[in-house]
Amino acid sequence: MWRHNIKKCQTLYAALHGRVDRDDHHGHLEYDAVAFETGVPRPGKVKVTVVAQYTRKTTDGHYDAGRGQKIGVITAYCHNQPGNTCPAWANL
């Protein structure tokens, strides 16, 4: 795992626990959350977006789960950071 990848389930849960912020009605759901750094003199704060893709076929059509089945993929990233990577403190 890379130092700046989201590794904490707590970060994903914070976003997924709330209501859907954006829904294209084709299985692409986006959730927003804010992660806070605690226990330091100048705490950090970063906006996190979690994207959940839940459909029968992938967008490129390469994979098809079959009739009545679903494929699920979760992707998460931080905003206002170089390369949209999360700060290291968000993953400790």
CA–CA dist 81, 59 (Å, integer): 27
| Secondary structure in 3-state letters for the chain | CCCCCCCCHHHHHHHHCCCCCEECCCCEEEEEEEEECCCCCCCCEEEEEEEEEEECECCCCCCECCCCCCEEEEEEEECCCHHHCCCHHHHC
**Domain membership flag for residue 57:** yes
- pLDDT beyond 80 at 54: yes
- The reported pTM is 0.72
For 11-46, the pLDDT digits (tens) are 777 778 888 999 988 888 999 888 888 777 777 888
Mean pLDDT over 59-74 rounds to 87
**Domain membership flag for residue 87:** yes
* Total domains present in the chain: 1
Closest CA to 15 of 83, 74, 86: 74
**Domain membership flag for residue 3:** no
Q: Which domain holds residue 32?
A: 9-91
Residue 3: predicted pLDDT: 58
Per the prediction, the chain carries an average pLDDT of 81
- pLDDT beyond 70 at 58: yes
**Domain membership flag for residue 13:** yes
**Domain membership flag for residue 4:** no
